[in-house]
Structure 1
Amino acid sequence: MKLKLKGMTWSHERGLNPLVAASQAFRKLEPNVEIEWDARSLSDFELYPLELLADTYDLIMIDHPHIGTAVAKGLLLPLNDRVEEAFLKDQELHSTGLSYASYTYEGRQWALPVDAAAQVSAYRQDLLDQAGLLPARSWSDVLAIAKQLPIGQSIGLPLVPVHAYSTFFTLCAQLSNRAYWSEGLDLPMEVGEQALALMESLMPYVHSESVHQDPIHMLNLMGTSNEIAYIPLIYGYSNYARVGFRPSVASFGNIPSDSGVPSGSMIGGVGLAISSQCRHADIAARFAVMVASPEFQRTSFFLNDGQPGHREAWLDPEVNRLSGGFFKNTLDTLTHGSMRPRFHGYISFQEQAGNLIRYRLMNQAPERRTVIQTLNEMHMQVRREHQETGL
């Protein structure tokens, strides 16, 4: 009897190609099982309600901030009952930073971290060399680069709402060495103001398209033109560090930090989860285990445009040779990264917060203190609303 499973990922080579390859590899192990993948845009991946996918798809690639709502609404199956404990322990032991922990919620594991990412820095080594500049190590270095680039070249910073929020969150976590909203606490006024001030200091120098760009579009611009030489904070995509992926190769490194430790980066990455509506959950779990296994991660997953989550793949010499050292050069940032909140209802807060932060950056209004106060009020209001209604 032939079985067909449906999966949902996001529409980028990194999101789709390794899973199509994995489905073909799984077909050799399970000849009667066919897994078909659909893909949605990056913005849909970050914001689209998971409940609208769980009824249609068996396997879902998810962003960890959706976990709280997914668990509250019973949208996913816990993996603990279908995956051997020894395998889960290995995944935890070889997690790249907080990747594995980001899918652990209320004592259960809701996804396997098959893809790991965080905000890192990106640059065109050839353009920096021509300008006699080095990649930034501190935030004063970033401003120095911005001011010294030749006419026609700029620094970049993705500032669509979700990514304006991401950069703000990273800076707050780095400045304070805490992720206050993830702990259910108000962000201290001085931390938020300092983060906003740092972002504002970069605005006169960022590429004019930054306010309209997400990481994919900004890295495409970096790889197809000479307009962007350096990006201090952007979600890393190892594809752009591979020769031939785009006309020009991007290099990646740790994020700037005035402390010398590249801390605070808001982790991203993607987890492979099983819908609670999946009628063949054991088969779906076997597929997920194959995709997350260290051997598959450092070979087929990576070679088919994937960005692995298993730490062994991040340390693999051949993986790094083929990606211009992307993984070893950004690993410290992943190791010292911070995790977003995952409470039920968080996604609506993230979107509202990003819009307010972006508005402040573009208009120098409202006042910084008003922005931080409003953000804290929005954060607590969303938490209260979902606690009170249970929705």
Structure 2
Amino acid sequence: MTTLRGITWDHARGYEPVRAASEEFRRLRPDIRIEWEKRSLKDFGDSPVDVLAREYDLLMIDHPHVGISSAQGALAPLDLYLPADFLADQAAHAIGPSYRSYEWNGHQWALAVDAAAQVASYRPDLIGQEELPRSWAEVEALARSLPPGRRVGWPLCPTDAMCSFLTLCAGEGGDAFFSETDGIPRRTGEAALERMLRLLPLLHESSLASNPIQMYDRMAKEDDIVYVPLAFGYSNYARSGFAGKLLRFADIPGEDGRPRGALLGGVGIAVSASSSDIPSAVEFVRFLAGGELQRTLYARHEGQPGHGSAWRDAEVNRYTHGFFADTYATLAASYLRPRHAAFPAFQERAGALLHEALVRFRQGKGADRSQLIADMNRLYATVRKETLV
């Protein structure tokens, strides 16, 4: 009997589909048992993959870590174990850059079994689809027009504030806005920051302390948040019975009405290079990422599939009230952030800088746009020097 250990994150979307798939896999391979453990959403984004790879065979990972993980030799290159035609199918059915987000230095380090980007969300009983903002000017107009007791929300805890900032930068400056030598162009960064500051005084008071799950939980329970312009999408909240009130999801606003630049999220499944049974672990990865399983068992068990056939499936969209169809364009035009070794640490530390500035501004203390961007770029230079060799 082979026992594999897996690590995922502590949410129904992260745990239920891999648990159900592991049970199904054991029916096919009774000699392989897979045990899953969970970590918090923050730990999912911040925990060093090389440390986890010493303890677990299967890892659900965030794509910005592939650069440093491959340099550390923490993960097994899946292209050396999986058939070329299977990988070609994965690439052909990827949405936007989700598949290639796990490519690095000529190897495939994970498969995108979960696909996500920052999207918009709303309460359909409080605002109609025809009223949804298509541009940032319309978001501001909506926020100003809402009656007392109703607000626009925006998850802006440090991690998600930085994610939204990067989305706005990509919408303003294009997919290649970030310089891997110099960081954030001043004009692009200032324009993105100005967008955030204009809306900040109009937002629900919970915004600066919330991550997406916390805000969706509130939206589903209370009636005070009508619309959210940017947050990583969770199809769970678009499923009847998952939470109190049903949420719907939509494409993000854009300056010209087109949903461009949403920060790519999602989750890839990787295999530890330290696993005692890499072939068995890879066999499960292939099983989990296959299109048939993704649009059936994986999607039904609270999953948010990475295979494009699931996003286009009529039945999947029926029981998620159009989540996948209504956000497909945003994911297809999403922004793939840098994945070199310095970027994860920079993103985490820059998020703290940004959040401090937003809190000060909300308290009426003002914000020096140019200074903040300069501080971010000095931080990037420091982290890059510390990390890249």
Q: Same fold (TM over 0.5)?
A: yes
Query: Aligned to 1:126, what secondary structure does the other structure show?
Result: coil
Matched, 1:166 2:167: no
User: So what's the TM-score if we normalise by structure 1?
Assistant: 0.96
Which letter does structure 1 place at the counterpart of 2:255? D
Which letter does structure 2 place at the counterpart of 1:354? G
Which letter does structure 1 place at the counterpart of 2:211? D
Query: Aligned to 2:388, what secondary structure does the other structure show?
Result: helix
Instruction: Give me the whole-angstrom Cα distance separating, in 2, the residues matched to 1:178 and 1:348.
Output: 20
Matched, 1:52 2:51: yes
Alignment of 1:303-342 (within 5 A): 303-342=300-339
Instruction: Give me the whole-angstrom Cα distance separating, in 1, the residues matched to 2:111 and 2:181.
Output: 25
Shift of 1:331: 0.6
Shift of 1:182: 6.3
120, 139, 145: which one pairs with 2:142? 145
Shift of 1:61: 0.1
Shift of 1:189: 1.1
230, 233, 237: which one pairs with 1:233? 230
Shift of 1:198: 0.5
Which letter does structure 2 place at the counterpart of 1:319? V
Query: Aligned to 2:127, what secondary structure does the other structure show?
Result: helix
Instruction: Give me the whole-angstrom Cα distance separating, in 1, the residues matched to 2:176 and 2:237.
Output: 29
Query: Aligned to 1:181, what secondary structure does the other structure show?
Result: coil
Q: Map Cα deviations across residues 41-74 of structure 1 (whole Å, 9 max, x no partner).
A: 1011011121221111000000001111111111
**Counterpart residue number, 1:105:** 104
Runs in 1 of length 4+ with deviation above 4 angstroms? 182-185
Alignment of 1:57-206 (within 5 A): 57-129=56-128, 134-181=131-178, 183-206=180-203
Does the CA contact (< 8 Å) of 1:115 and 1:269 recur in 2?
Answer: yes
Instruction: Give me the whole-angstrom Cα distance separating, in 1, the residues matched to 2:135 and 2:328.
Output: 18
Change in CA separation of 1:182 and 1:61 when aligned onto 2, cut-off 3 Å: farther
Shift of 1:186: 3.0
Instruction: Give me the whole-angstrom Cα distance separating, in 1, the residues matched to 2:29 and 2:130.
Output: 53
Instruction: Give me the whole-angstrom Cα distance separating, in 1, the residues matched to 2:36 and 2:209.
Output: 28
**Counterpart residue number, 2:388:** 387
User: So what's the TM-score if we normalise by structure 2?
Assistant: 0.96
Q: Map Cα deviations across residues 17-37 of structure 1 (whole Å, 9 max, x no partner).
A: 000001001001100111010
Does the CA contact (< 8 Å) of 2:175 and 2:336 recur in 1?
Answer: no
Query: Aligned to 1:35, what secondary structure does the other structure show?
Result: strand
Does the CA contact (< 8 Å) of 1:179 and 1:340 recur in 2?
Answer: no
Which letter does structure 2 place at the counterpart of 1:252? F
Does the CA contact (< 8 Å) of 1:182 and 1:341 recur in 2?
Answer: no
Change in CA separation of 1:17 and 1:267 when aligned onto 2, cut-off 3 Å: same
Does the CA contact (< 8 Å) of 1:182 and 1:340 recur in 2?
Answer: no
Instruction: Give me the whole-angstrom Cα distance separating, in 2, the residues matched to 1:27 and 1:330.
Output: 34
Matched, 1:31 2:19: no
Q: Map Cα deviations across residues 206-232 of structure 1 (whole Å, 9 max, x no partner).
A: 111111111111111111111211000
Q: Map Cα deviations across residues 142-167 of structure 1 (whole Å, 9 max, x no partner).
A: 11111122211211111111100000
Does the CA contact (< 8 Å) of 1:343 and 1:383 recur in 2?
Answer: no
Instruction: Give me the whole-angstrom Cα distance separating, in 2, the residues matched to 1:373 and 1:308.
Output: 39
Structure 2 unaligned regions, length at least 5? none
Does the CA contact (< 8 Å) of 2:251 and 2:327 recur in 1?
Answer: yes
Instruction: Give me the whole-angstrom Cα distance separating, in 2, the residues matched to 1:30 and 1:345.
Output: 40
Does the CA contact (< 8 Å) of 2:157 and 2:210 recur in 1?
Answer: yes
355, 359, 381: which one pairs with 2:356? 359
% identical aligned pairs: 44
Shift of 1:381: 2.4
Structure 1 unaligned regions, length at least 5? none
Shift of 1:385: 2.1
Which letter does structure 1 place at the counterpart of 2:132? P
Shift of 1:350: 0.8
Does the CA contact (< 8 Å) of 1:182 and 1:342 recur in 2?
Answer: no
Shift of 1:181: 2.7
Shift of 1:324: 0.6
**Counterpart residue number, 1:215:** 212
The alignment covers a number of residue pairs equal to: 385
Does the CA contact (< 8 Å) of 1:266 and 1:340 recur in 2?
Answer: yes
Which letter does structure 1 place at the counterpart of 2:265? G
Instruction: Give me the whole-angstrom Cα distance separating, in 1, the residues matched to 2:126 and 2:232.
Output: 21
Matched, 1:272 2:269: yes
Does the CA contact (< 8 Å) of 1:98 and 1:335 recur in 2?
Answer: yes
Instruction: Give me the whole-angstrom Cα distance separating, in 1, the residues matched to 2:130 and 2:147.
Output: 11
Query: Aligned to 2:126, what secondary structure does the other structure show?
Result: helix
Shift of 1:204: 1.0
Q: Map Cα deviations across residues 321-350 of structure 1 (whole Å, 9 max, x no partner).
A: 111110011011011111111111322111
Does the CA contact (< 8 Å) of 2:294 and 2:306 recur in 1?
Answer: yes
Shift of 1:191: 1.0
Shift of 1:183: 4.5
296, 301, 314: which one pairs with 2:298? 301
